[in-house]
Each structure stands twice: as C-alpha cells, then as structure tokens.
Structure 1
C-alpha cells in the first residue's frame, strides 16, 4: 500500500517541479526587464512570486530569493561596469566601504534572526518591509538626477553614517532576500549627494558582499539543502533575471524610469498585500 501511494505521488511531484521550472523562468524575465529599465534587481517582485505563485513557504522563499539576487547582481555588475564610467564611483569609495562594513554585519546575523521568528512574525515583517520599499520606489520616481547631500562632506561624518545605514540595509537584505538597491540608492542620493546613475552602480558594489554573506549564512543553516529547488527554481529564475536585465538595459530611455518606479511601487504594495495577507489567512485557517 505504501509503495502504491509513493507511485501515485511521483507524477504529481514531477508535474509540480516542471510547473515551477517554467514559471520561475517566465516570471523572472519580465521582472528582470523592469529591473534593468530602472537599475534595480527586481528581488522585491520575485519574493511574492516565490511565496505566492510557486507555493514556497516564506522561510524557503527568502533564501531562494537571495540566491537569485546574487546571480543577478554579479551579472549586472559585469554589464554595468562595461558601459558606465566608474570615475564618480571611485570618489564614493569611502562611503561604499562603510556601507558594506555595516551591511555585512547584519547580513551575517539576519538569517539567525529570521530563524527565531515565528512564521506569522516573519510574514508581517516582510509585508511591512515590502510596503516601505514600494513607497521608497514611488518617492525615488520623483527625485531629481542629483540633489545636495544632507551630510557634510567630511569623512568623520560620512563613514559613521555609512556604517549605520549599512546596518539597516544588511538587515533588510537578509530578511527579504533582496539586494537592497531600493534602500541603498535613496540613501546614496539623499545622504551623500550621489547622482542616480552613480548611486545605481555603487548600490551593486554594496549589495554583492552583503548578499554573498547572506547566502553563505542561509546555506550553513541548510536553506539550500533541497537540490531539486536549486534546479527547478533558483537556476531558471537566475537565468531569466539576467536575460531580462540585459533586455531592460537595452531598452533604457524608451520608457521614463521615473514613471516606471512610481507604477512599480504601487504594484509592489498591492501584490505584497495580496500575497502575504493570503498567507496569513491560510495560516490562521490551518491553525484553527
């Protein structure tokens, strides 16, 4: 009887894996295109897909999203580095290193913090953070190309401030599985007076070690032990994201980035409420 049940489950599991493979790639490409158009990775939009459409639990979705983010950031750095001047980025290096210093600290402990939270607490935190990021996208859509820095140019101000901002960025990254560009870019623009293009490149430099630390920490806690998920979700989603980012980069200038950011900020808030409200409702029904 046991063998018959196992045999009956095999086609169902196989069809689920095939479905996840197809949807992972199909969703990743347009999200990557949008990310490429506005200079972001799109991880915020992948998280609702992972936790909603693909049916992963939030605890699985976050590290999987982080893994895809790592692939996307590495590819984006190569693409962006070959097309943009790094002269302005070099001037920001002290700030970039201070942001990295703070971010890797909280990224290191973020996985442990997430593990101590209940599913309901983690879902609520993720919902709040996604809404905040959605609002940040809308605000960023109205930013001018460059504004005066809020902080004085002295490194005695900028380095401690960078570390403090980095602590918040690393925590957001590890709890959501995102690169954090939506937080890093406004920080660089508002606090340090970077122009939007320079901030976009600098955010990738900050995100790479931050996400890498998060991936290593989640991996050490067994988050990537499911090899099937690596093949049918993370790999196709990573490939789709890179393809989409390349296409998006080629289309820059056709659609106003500011309009896209405002639109995507609204969409992110709506999708976050729909997915994570549904998750919470499902959990409550299960408990009752």
Structure 2
C-alpha cells in the first residue's frame, strides 16, 4: 500500500482508512479516559508512512483538536466552579511543562531521524508503564512540605512537557497520576486539571514546531489530517460511551501489549525507515 500523498485521488483512496484508523485510536483512548494519541503516533509512522518528526507534528495537531473538543464535555461533567479552587495546581505544573514543551520540541527538531525513532520507541514503553500503573492498584497522595511539593511539581511538569512535545501527545497519562500523587486531588478533578495543563503546553510545543520546515506536513496533508481528526473525535466520543464495558483486567493488558509491539516496530524504523 502506497503512503498518502497530497493528490486528491490518493486522499480519496485513503479517506476510509484514515477515518477508521482515527476512530479506532479514539475508541481505544476513550475506553480508558484518554485521547489515544499514544496509539495514533505508531499508526502515522507504520500505516501512513510519515517520517518521525512529521508524524509527531501531525499527532500534536490531532491531539490539540481532540483536547479542544473534549473540554466542553469535560466541563459539563466537572463544572468550572469545581476546578477553580485548584488553580494553583495548574500554575505549578505549567511552570515546568511550558519550558519542557519548548525544549522538547527543540530537541525533536534537531535530532537525526534515526535517533528520534529510537526515542519515540522508548517513550512508548514509558507510556505503557504509566498506563499499567494508572489502572492497576490505587494512587495515594504523597504528603510533603509545600515547598517540596511545588519543586517536585515544576520538575515533573518539565519532564511531562518534554515527553508530550516529543511524542505529540497531550500527556494525560502522566499528568493525571502526578496531580493525584502530588496534590491529593480527586481523580475526576485531576482529569479536568490535566486538560487545563495540556492545552497551553501543547500550544507552546506547536509554536516551536511551527519554526521547523517539517511543519509544512500540516499544509501538505491537510485533508488527510482533517479526516483523521474527524475519526479521532468520533472514536473518542464512542470510546467514552463504552467506558467500563470491557473490563480493565482485559483492556489494559491488551493495550499494553499493543503499545509494546508498536514500540518495537517504531524502533526498527531507525534502521529501515
């Protein structure tokens, strides 16, 4: 199967595949309460044939669309009045994540393609570990002095910003447990707070990527991106409706295996891509 190009005929040919792929990713993410960008990134590389940096930039754009569409639904479930008492948590993490996003995007644009493939493969394993940790056992608040909590929050935010920028993801899989562990926030509130941190963090990374030549991938593949975005949003909504239908004892290990296999395939692109 040929990789997608800018021509109208090829876009039409790939449209059903792109929508189905986006929807599948959205369903997987929605079923565990995430946007699914972790699963979309390997597909952009392996199925659609995008180079590593192009896949990251496109994944970032699609993640941004998913987060923006998720915000109204999230605010309906958790009103703004319930979030405002926790504004300090958002500010604390943003102090690190904004810098991390800019630096992470800068690193990604300067890496050799083979190195970026390997970094993405390793980060997929990291996300797999976070996925398992989040859904196995119970998260408990780590009680520390305020100064220590703020310091750890900035450092954690920085590394989350770096990971999110390099992978083109929102970072919810890392943000939610960080918020619960550091600040003792209810996990439902933490999910909404993670979006409040993710959105500006993603915009900073996006601004940094816009300075790189690979950013033109969004213009060259705009129609394909729109189809993937429509599929992703549709799938995320459907996945949210299916939340809890598949037992986590079955779903989480299956998704973990999928991410590990994807990581191995992405790693191989370092020598064959």
Report whether the alignment pairs 1:236 with 2:227: yes
Query: Which aligned pairs between 1:14-33 and structure 2 lie closer than 5 A?
Result: 14-33=8-27
Q: SS state of the match for residue 173, structure 1?
A: helix
In structure 2, runs of 5+ residues without a counterpart are none
The corresponding residue for 1:194 is 185
1:277 match: secondary structure: helix
Which of 43, 48, 51 is the aligned partner of 2:45? 51
Kindly indicate whether the alpha-carbon contact (under 8 Å) linking 1:141 and 1:259 is maintained by their aligned counterparts in 2: no
**Quick check: 1:148 aligned with 2:127?**
no
Unmatched tracts of structure 1, length 5 or more: 1-10, 284-288
Question: What is the rounded CA distance, in whole Å, between the counterparts of 1:20 and 1:111 in structure 2?
Answer: 29
Q: Following TM superposition, by how much is the alpha carbon of 1:277 offset from its aligned partner in structure 2, in angstroms? A: 3.2
Aligned partner (choices 64, 76, 84) of residue 78 of structure 2: 84
Q: Does 1:157 align with 2:164?
A: no
- 2:91 equivalent to 1:100: no
Once the two structures are TM-superposed, the CA of residue 244 in structure 1 deviates from its matched residue by 1.2
Pairing partner for 2:167 from 176, 187, 198 = 176
Change (3 A) 1:265 1:194: farther
In 1, Cα distance between the equivalents of 2:181 and 2:134? Answer: 10
Corresponding position of 1:67: 61
Distance 2:68 2:116 in 1: 28
Contact 2:109 2:209 in 1 (8 A): no
* Rg (Cα) greater in structure: 1
Query: Structure 1 pair 258/165, CA: closer, same or farther in 2 (3 Å)?
Result: farther
Tell me which residue corresponds to 2:112: 118
2:83 & 2:216 partners in 1: Cα distance? 37
TM-score by length of 1: 0.85
Q: Secondary structure at the match of 2:216?
A: coil
CA RMSD of aligned residues (A): 2.1
Closer/same/farther in 2, CA of residues 257 and 81 from structure 1, 3 Å limit: farther
TM-score of the pair, normalised by structure 2: 0.90
Q: What whole-Å deviation, never above 9, does each CA across 1:9-48 have from its counterpart, x for those lacking one?
A: xx99555433443322111112112212211111010000
Secondary structure of the 1:55 match is coil
Q: 2-side partners of 1:237 and 1:34: how far apart?
A: 15
